[in-house]
Structure 1
């Protein structure tokens, strides 16, 4: 019966359009993002770039650039020559990115605060050599976003998508769900995300958007946390819990965190330890040249 109450609560929130905004959490996490998320997952982000040909003089669009970790990595691969157009919704993240990567004599780089779908719509057809989207396609309508990406890519241009998999941080997600099952009134907004089950799901998004898939891969990283307290600190300071603050009753935030901590402690006791794993997918593709069909 309690799960039914939660389902009814979620339905009412959906019908009333009460969706959680993740930007507040990303702004709050921006100062610690590199020390937590980038330190652990940054190597996988950079490895994804190995699947495409980033060269000096290219025009690159980066969607959801965050603190500019990949912006900096791409600038180095471009030997600081070319054009980078980056966008992110979080002003806090962008402030750090702008300090990392500054325009220079041969590198034309700009950072825009805004929605990545709207940003793409403002870009000209067929001008980009590379489009990169790290850890953010889940916040968009994936196929619609990829269709815009195909439009802005030149024929033969490449796209890189890195995204969290739906089964990531399973222990934490289970604990949070149990807290809401026990007390549905704690939930005041819905976190809307389209996390893929696996790389094949993303590959199908590519095909529906008319992009030819060139690489699919999956991976995982065990987070450096061994206690419930450390787990909660990591997800809050890494941005992994983006949308959490806006999805709960703000007056009861500490109560929710305490309940999640206790649920994690119970899991750890029953499984002889706590382990959180961040699973992810990497998919790359190419915009077909004239006369070619996507596959």
Structure 2
């Protein structure tokens, strides 16, 4: 019976335009920002590090690079780039003011921090502004193709774009129980969170960048298991990492009754762990000479 109430509620929210917006997602991340590095990056940072390590192989540490970190969060990636390229200028953009407060503490005053939606910021950027653009775990919160198109425009010729994001099949245990949780608390749903445009797989991910004539430097897929002694600890992890940002606006997972049911559903299904599945890639905007070479080859 609860599912029969859920579907009409979802339809009413959609038709009424009551949709989770970017500012809502920013609020989700602001809530988890104090513990974000402890709960999420303490494990997942190794994949950020791997991506940045690959990126750094193609950059000159003596140059003063213009580096843009989109959805910069607590500034983890920016700190890494700051250490590797100390002469560079860093610009961090995030819609969450809470995340940027953490970033300011981590980075000091040696960076520009801008509270903004990533697409709004990119739209206002001049062509050829940056040598490097990084976007970790967040391109899914906006239309990825629009983000990539703007990144191509704001990058200098020969510049690099590095992106890491979850795939559609991430957190399968959570995806299994979330609809059941919604059905139990239909009356508490006030906004609709639309499905996120995560890539299906690595080939689909690469295709996003090929569409805008980026040259692939490297891309790969991977996963990270998170296992806990109890279902309750898994539930604490779920609500503390930002992994369900936006979906926790559709239904407040910190509401005591909702959280209790989240724990119960995980327990009933014997879930004490979950899996983050992801892809990452480094792509280069062709330089003028590379574009000319492509044209000559095409005309031969």
Scaled by the length of structure 2, the TM-score of the pair is 0.87
2:139–2:165: 8 Å Cα contact kept in structure 1? yes
Structure 1 counterpart of 2:192: 190
State how far apart, in whole Å, the 2-side matches of 1:249 and 1:260 are: 11
Structure 2 counterpart of 1:90: 96
Deviation at 1:203, TM superposition (A): 1.3
After TM superposition, the structure 1 = structure 2 runs for residues 17-166 of structure 1, keeping only pairs within 5 Å, are: 17-20=17-20, 21-52=24-55, 53-56=58-61, 57-78=64-85, 80-104=86-110, 109-166=111-168
State how far apart, in whole Å, the 1-side matches of 2:259 and 2:166 are: 23
Deviation at 1:249, TM superposition (A): 6.3
Deviation at 1:214, TM superposition (A): 2.5
Deviations 1:62-114 (A, max 9, x none): 10000011110111110x2111111001111101101111345xxxx211011
State how far apart, in whole Å, the 1-side matches of 2:185 and 2:30 are: 28
Structure 2: which 5+ runs fail to align?
A: 296-300
State how far apart, in whole Å, the 2-side matches of 1:32 and 1:257 are: 18
User: 3-state SS of the aligned residue for 2:279?
Assistant: strand
The structure-2 alpha-carbon separation of the partners of 1:12 and 1:210, relative to structure 1 and needing over 3 Å to count, comes to: farther
State how far apart, in whole Å, the 2-side matches of 1:249 and 1:122 are: 34
State how far apart, in whole Å, the 1-side matches of 2:235 and 2:34 are: 17
The structure-2 alpha-carbon separation of the partners of 1:180 and 1:133, relative to structure 1 and needing over 3 Å to count, comes to: same
State how far apart, in whole Å, the 2-side matches of 1:24 and 1:125 are: 30
Deviation at 1:208, TM superposition (A): 2.2
The structure-2 alpha-carbon separation of the partners of 1:178 and 1:96, relative to structure 1 and needing over 3 Å to count, comes to: same
2:40–2:241: 8 Å Cα contact kept in structure 1? yes
State how far apart, in whole Å, the 2-side matches of 1:206 and 1:119 are: 20
Structure 1 counterpart of 2:175: 173
State how far apart, in whole Å, the 2-side matches of 1:282 and 1:261 are: 31
State how far apart, in whole Å, the 1-side matches of 2:82 and 2:205 are: 26
State how far apart, in whole Å, the 1-side matches of 2:188 and 2:176 are: 16
1:144–1:209: 8 Å Cα contact kept in structure 2? no
Deviation at 1:189, TM superposition (A): 1.6
Deviation at 1:245, TM superposition (A): 3.7
Q: Which residue of the other structure, out of 270, 277, 282, is the alignment partner of 1:279? A: 277
Deviation at 1:45, TM superposition (A): 1.0
State how far apart, in whole Å, the 2-side matches of 1:50 and 1:165 are: 22
State how far apart, in whole Å, the 1-side matches of 2:115 and 2:37 are: 19
State how far apart, in whole Å, the 1-side matches of 2:54 and 2:19 are: 35
2:227–2:272: 8 Å Cα contact kept in structure 1? no
Structure 2 counterpart of 1:14: 14
State how far apart, in whole Å, the 1-side matches of 2:268 and 2:245 are: 24
Scaled by the length of structure 1, the TM-score of the pair is 0.89
User: 3-state SS of the aligned residue for 1:241?
Assistant: coil
Higher normalized contact order (CA 8 Å, seq sep 6+, divided by chain length): 1
